[in-house]
Amino acid sequence: MTAYNVKVNGRSHSIDVLPDTPLLWVLRDSLGLSGTKFGCGIAMCGACTVYLDGKPLRSCSFPVSAVGDREVTTIEGLSGREAAAVEPSGQEALVECENRDCLTAVRFPRTSRSAAR
């Protein structure tokens, strides 16, 4: 086990895990942030997507030891335009999309609706 400091949703956390522990499991098991979902586990489906310094990242395939000083943002930490995009129906959709690309969908939900109009 190794101690890591990770900054998630604006808060710093100290955790003690193996270096190759996927960020997904740190978020869910160590920090209790269950909004980030497990789907395929091989960086294909996107259910585990978080932002790392504002860029989408598949957290199931990214070791916590590689996070460093960068900021992790999960669905719980979204604010502004992204948060508005998931309210009110988006949050319900996120709960239901265990095996789909939830956080990626958060980024573009209004685009598909706008295109349909």
- Interface residues toward ligand FES, by CB under 6 A: 38-41, 43-48, 58, 60
- Of the pair 12, 66, the CB lying nearest ligand FES is at 66
Give CA separation, 52 vs 60, 67, 69, 73, 74, in Å. 13, 8, 10, 6, 9
Which one, 84 or 95, has the nearer CB to ligand FES? 95
Q: How far is the CB of 102 from ligand FES (least distance, A)?
A: 10
H-state helical runs in the chain:
23-25, 81-85, 89-96, 102-107, 109-116
| CB 62, min distance to ligand FES, A | 9
User: Between residues 18 and 44, which has the closer beta carbon with respect to ligand FES?
Assistant: 44
User: Hey, what amino acid is at 102?
Assistant: C
Say how far apart CA 90 and CA 103 lie, in whole Å.
Answer: 10
- Work out how close the CB of 117 gets to ligand FES at its nearest, in angstroms, rounded to a whole number: 31
